[in-house]
């Protein structure tokens, strides 16, 4: 017990100047895959309890960025802090719910077995697992499919189950990589309402998307192109600043600026 | 506990996957039966001359499907030369002297097995005395045949566990679930141990079924302890499993996993003691797991040896398994450093 306290204090000392009002801090992050420069000098701060949209075209580096935040990948240079701790760190990974871009599910297992497995991996008790399974399946509208093997699911159903798995252990930080792809509009609306609810409870949520109109539903937006963050702010701010009426136009504007510089 | 959760998940996956289940449980039984019928001609009557043995010895032989009849020493030798009997036995002071016609290995093997069993039944207290066996026509060392049943059990378990566990771990990677798993606080070694435990539990079932089938249904020559056979087959499964997972990290898809069969599996068949190889080539077998597995199984099944005689083989298998597990844990660093 004593040991862990000392250890924690040490970490704090190691991370001086970390603004604890921010949930996630990304500092001067660069990522190379071989010689390919995928993330370029990213600086990004995310406050608690916000839905932060990471917007950008395919291949611009969104997935790479959120994987670094989730602790799956490591930056080539620069630092990432989540909840005041330098990533990657196993104890923090318990506090992050990660939903991958491609559904990572065990096809031969039922939805219930998938949820129970990850619940146990996150160290939840049997009773917690049971209660949460019902709750999250209700939330993503899959309660009737609890005992179906996942390989019999449609694409949208798999996406929803992936989301259920990400929020299963009540994490204070959610990292969702293109969560609404392949989900029909009505259900998509439900999901956004749920995310709103979670944010109100203080959950910090990162959502990546390449669909511009989804960006409006986020509290804040970070625009990304070619491995750089090109603009940050609320949707309104970003549009008003340059006097345009849609997020697309704003994206084109900021992207163009980037090309010139 | 995370290791337990992972092991349970693997068992659940196997339970749902009927084909793999059948592959792991029924295919070995099918293969063994096939080989059995190819190699064992339908042994008709096997006659044995009992020159000197305690009363009731013939009855015991009868229980093992061998007909024993009293012969004098000279009659026995004559009958053996004429091919009327397959073996003769003379027990003096607790030690047996067996003469056997080695020209028909199958019959010879059955006769020897029956004699050993009957001997054990009659002389409960003297299992330490080894029989002195003289082969009359055949060569004394008949590796291809005597070792076949024992080696085959080891090989079949090794082969199926290697393939199924390797492919299963590969799918964990290609389906993205490994990445999802690595986004949780699970440690790398917990993944490896979870896999070993999950498949380990399943292979206990498989090892039991295969060993039981060989020993009690096919009646492969077996004079050792069934418990030891189970222990060896279980360790076989564990080394096959850890090696399978290790190789799967070098494969990008299922087909590439299959490509390891001619590279990893087939050479082991040649070097595991089935074939008479020149000594300088034979040493290559020393680096192959199946060599030690086959040796241990042969010791127990054909020579009736105890744990002491196979301790060396078992420790090598165990050390290799642990080594592979450590390597697996290190190789997972490729996907997440911590
Ligand atoms: N493991 C990898 N090895 C090499 N290149 C990669 C790897 N992962 C991603 N990339 C490259 O990095 C770039 C950004 O990819 P990604 O982060 O997936 O973009 P996005 O999620 O925005 O579509 C792409 O050009 C992609 O090809
Ligand atoms: Mg992506």
* Residue B7 domain-assigned (yes or no): no
C-alpha–C-alpha distance, residues B194 and B5, integer Å? 8
CATH number of the CATH domain containing B94: 3.40.1710.10
For chain B, give the percent of residues with pLDDT over 70.
90
Q: Which domain holds residue B209?
A: 144-334
pLDDT in tens, B27-73: 889 988 887 777 665 556 788 888 888 888 888 888 887 888 888 88
Q: Do B338 and A109 touch (CB under 8 A)?
A: no
Does residue B5 contact residue A120 with C-beta atoms inside 8 Å? yes
Mutation pick from B4, B170, B180 vs chain A, by most beta carbons of A within 10 Å, is: B180
Residues 6+ apart with CB under 8 A from A56: A62, A208, A210, A223, A224, A225
* Residue B35 domain-assigned (yes or no): no
Residues 6+ apart with CB under 8 A from A176: A99, A163, A166, A205, A206, A207, A208
Does residue A195 contact residue A49 with C-beta atoms inside 8 Å? no
Among B119, B137, B155, the domain-final residue is B137
User: How does residue B140 score in pLDDT terms, banded at 50, 70 and 90?
Assistant: very low
Question: Which residue, B190, B211, B221, is CA-closest to B293?
Answer: B211
Q: Take residue A5 and report the two structure tokens written for it.
A: 């306290």
From the number of C-beta atoms within 10 Å of its C-beta (0-12, 13-18, 19+), residue B219 rates as middle
Among B118, B137, B156, the domain-final residue is B137
Q: Would you state the pLDDT for residue B143?
A: 40
Closest ligand 1 atom, residue A227 Cα = 14
Q: Would you state the pLDDT for residue B104?
A: 67
C-alpha–C-alpha distance, residues A208 and A99, integer Å? 10
Task: Let me know whether B73 and B110 are in one domain.
Answer: yes
Q: Would you state the pLDDT for residue A4?
A: 42
Task: Let me know whether B123 and B268 are in one domain.
Answer: no
Between B171 and B287, the more confident residue is B171
Nearest residue in A to B179, CA atom: A72
Helix, strand and coil content of chain A, in percent to the nearest 5, comes to 45, 25, 30
> Looking at the partner chain, which of B4, B177, B184 has a beta carbon nearest the beta carbon of A93?
B184
Helix, strand and coil content of chain B, in percent to the nearest 5, comes to 70, 10, 25
Instruction: Output the CA A60–ligand 2 centroid distance in Å.
Output: 8
Task: Let me know whether B130 and B205 are in one domain.
Answer: no
Flag whether pLDDT at B139 surpasses 80: no
* Residue B125 domain-assigned (yes or no): yes
* Residue B64 domain-assigned (yes or no): yes
Q: How far is A94 from chain B (nearest CA, A)?
A: 6
Phi, psi of B247 (to 5 degrees): -70, -30
Closest ligand 1 atom, residue A60 Cα = 22
Distances (CA, A) of B8 to A57, B196, B322: 40, 11, 21
Does residue A51 contact residue A207 with C-beta atoms inside 8 Å? yes
* Residue B3 domain-assigned (yes or no): no
Give the up-direction half-sphere exposure of residue B270: CA atoms within 13 A in the CB hemisphere: 11
C-alpha–C-alpha distance, residues B288 and B224, integer Å? 24
Residues 6+ apart with CB under 8 A from A159: A103, A179, A180, A181, A182, A183
Does residue A32 contact residue A38 with C-beta atoms inside 8 Å? yes
Task: Let me know whether B74 and B219 are in one domain.
Answer: no
C-alpha–C-alpha distance, residues B309 and B292, integer Å? 12
Does the Cβ of A209 fall within 6 Å of ligand 1?
Answer: no
pLDDT in tens, B112-126: 888 888 877 776 546
Task: Let me know whether B206 and B245 are in one domain.
Answer: yes
User: How does residue B272 score in pLDDT terms, banded at 50, 70 and 90?
Assistant: confident
* Residue B100 domain-assigned (yes or no): yes
Task: Let me know whether B190 and B52 are in one domain.
Answer: no
Does residue A261 contact residue A242 with C-beta atoms inside 8 Å? no
Question: Which residue, A256, A207, A249, is CA-closest to A230?
Answer: A256
C-alpha–C-alpha distance, residues B141 and B198, integer Å? 40
B182 close to A (CB below 8 A) = yes
* Residue B321 domain-assigned (yes or no): yes
Question: Which residue, B95, B74, B91, B85, is CA-closest to B137?
Answer: B85
Task: Let me know whether B163 and B236 are in one domain.
Answer: yes
A71 close to B (CB below 8 A) = yes
Q: Do B5 and A121 touch (CB under 8 A)?
A: yes
- Measured on CA atoms in the order A189, A24, A121, A101, is the torsion positive or negative? positive
- Measured on CA atoms in the order B262, B265, B266, B268, is the torsion positive or negative? positive
Q: What is the pTM of this model?
A: 0.79
Task: Let me know whether B101 and B184 are in one domain.
Answer: no
| Start-to-end Cα distance in chain B | 19
Flag whether pLDDT at B186 surpasses 90: yes
Nearest residue in A to B188, CA atom: A90
Q: Would you state the pLDDT for residue A187?
A: 83
Does residue A104 contact residue A92 with C-beta atoms inside 8 Å? no
B18 close to A (CB below 8 A) = no
Q: Take residue B126 and report the two structure tokens written for it.
A: 């003297």
Long-range contacts of A184-189 (CB under 8 A, 24+ apart): A184/A156, A187/A141, A187/A156, A187/A160
Residues 6+ apart with CB under 8 A from A144: none
Cis peptide before B148, with omega less than 30 degrees from 0? no
| CA nearest ligand 1 atom 3, residue | A33
Closest ligand 1 atom, residue A34 Cα = 4
Does residue A54 contact residue A206 with C-beta atoms inside 8 Å? yes
Q: Would you state the pLDDT for residue B120?
A: 78
Task: Let me know whether B192 and B309 are in one domain.
Answer: yes
Nearest residue in B to A71, CA atom: B183
Nearest residue in A to B173, CA atom: A104
* Residue B156 domain-assigned (yes or no): yes
Closest ligand 1 atom, residue A210 Cα = 22
User: How does residue B172 score in pLDDT terms, banded at 50, 70 and 90?
Assistant: very high
Among B137, B161, B180, the domain-final residue is B137
Task: Let me know whether B260 and B180 are in one domain.
Answer: yes
Task: Let me know whether B130 and B149 are in one domain.
Answer: no
Task: Let me know whether B302 and B174 are in one domain.
Answer: yes
User: How does residue B240 score in pLDDT terms, banded at 50, 70 and 90?
Assistant: very high
| CA nearest ligand 1 atom 27, residue | A59
Three-class SS of residue A204? strand
Count of C-beta atoms within a 10 Å radius of residue A140: 24
Q: How many domains does chain B have?
A: 2
pLDDT along chain A (261 residues), means of 10: 42 55 91 94 93 92 95 93 90 93 93 96 95 93 94 92 94 93 84 90 93 85 92 86 82 70 46
Q: Would you state the pLDDT for residue B50?
A: 87
């Amino acid at each position: 017990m004593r040991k862990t306290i000392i250890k924690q204090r040490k970490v704090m000392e190691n991370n001086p100047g970390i603004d604890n009002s921010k949930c996630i801090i990304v500092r001067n992050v660069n990522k190379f895959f071989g010689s390919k420069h995928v993330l370029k000098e990213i600086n990004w701060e995310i406050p608690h309890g916000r839905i932060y949209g990471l917007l950008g075209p395919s291949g611009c580096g969104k997935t790479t960025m959120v994987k670094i935040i989730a602790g799956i990948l490591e930056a080539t240079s620069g630092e990432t802090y989540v909840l005041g701790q330098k990533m990657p760190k196993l104890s923090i990974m318990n506090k992050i719910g990660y939903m991958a871009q491609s559904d990572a599910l065990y096809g031969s297992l039922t939805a219930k077995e998938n949820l129970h497995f990850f619940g146990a991996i996150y160290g939840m008790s049997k009773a917690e697992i049971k209660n949460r399974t019902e709750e999250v399946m209700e939330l993503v509208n899959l309660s009737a499919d609890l005992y179906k093997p996942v390989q019999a699911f449609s694409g949208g159903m798999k996406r929803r189950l992936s989301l259920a798995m990400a929020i299963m252990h009540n994490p204070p930080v959610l990292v969702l990589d293109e969560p609404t792809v392949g989900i029909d509009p009505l259900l998509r609306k439900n999901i956004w309402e749920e995310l709103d609810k979670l944010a109100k409870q203080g959950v910090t949520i990162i959502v990546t998307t390449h669909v511009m109109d989804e960006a409006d539903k986020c509290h804040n937006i970070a625009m990304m192109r070619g491995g750089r963050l090109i603009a940050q702010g609320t949707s309104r701010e970003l549009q008003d600043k340059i006097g345009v009426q849609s997020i697309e136009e704003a994206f084109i504007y900021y992207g163009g600026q980037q090309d010139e510089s | 506990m995370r290791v337990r959760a992972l092991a349970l998940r693997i068992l659940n996956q196997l339970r749902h996957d009927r084909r793999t289940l059948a592959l792991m449980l029924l295919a070995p039984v099918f293969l063994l039966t096939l080989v059995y019928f190819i190699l064992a001609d339908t042994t008709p009557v096997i006659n044995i001359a009992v020159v000197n043995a305690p009363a009731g010895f013939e009855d015991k032989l009868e229980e093992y499907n061998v007909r024993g009849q009293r012969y004098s020493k000279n009659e026995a030798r004559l009958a053996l030369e004429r091919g009327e009997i397959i073996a003769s036995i003379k027990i003096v002071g607790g030690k047996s002297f067996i003469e056997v016609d080695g020209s028909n290995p199958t019959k010879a093997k059955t006769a020897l097995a029956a004699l050993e069993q009957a001997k054990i039944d009659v002389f409960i207290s003297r299992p330490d005395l080894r029989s002195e066996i003289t082969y009359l026509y055949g060569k004394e060392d008949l590796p291809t045949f005597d070792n076949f049943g024992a080696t085959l059990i080891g090989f079949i378990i090794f082969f199926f566990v290697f393939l199924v566990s390797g492919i299963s771990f590969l799918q964990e990677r290609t389906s993205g679930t490994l990445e999802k798993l690595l986004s949780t606080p699970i440690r790398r070694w917990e993944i490896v141990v979870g896999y070993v435990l999950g498949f380990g539990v399943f292979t206990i079932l498989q090892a039991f079924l295969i060993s039981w089938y060989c020993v009690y249904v096919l009646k492969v020559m077996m004079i050792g302890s069934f418990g030891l056979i189970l222990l060896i087959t279980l360790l076989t499964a564990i080394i096959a499993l850890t090696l399978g997972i290790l190789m799967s990290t070098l494969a990008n898809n299922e087909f590439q996993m299959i490509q390891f069969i001619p590279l990893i599996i087939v050479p082991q068949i040649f070097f595991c003691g089935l074939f008479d190889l020149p000594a300088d080539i034979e040493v290559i077998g020393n680096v192959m797991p199946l060599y030690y597995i086959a040796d241990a199984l042969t010791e127990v099944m054909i020579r009736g040896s105890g744990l002491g005689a196979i301790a060396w083989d078992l420790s090598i298998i165990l050390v290799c398994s642990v080594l592979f597990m450590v390597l697996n844990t290190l190789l997972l660093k490729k996907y997440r450093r911590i």
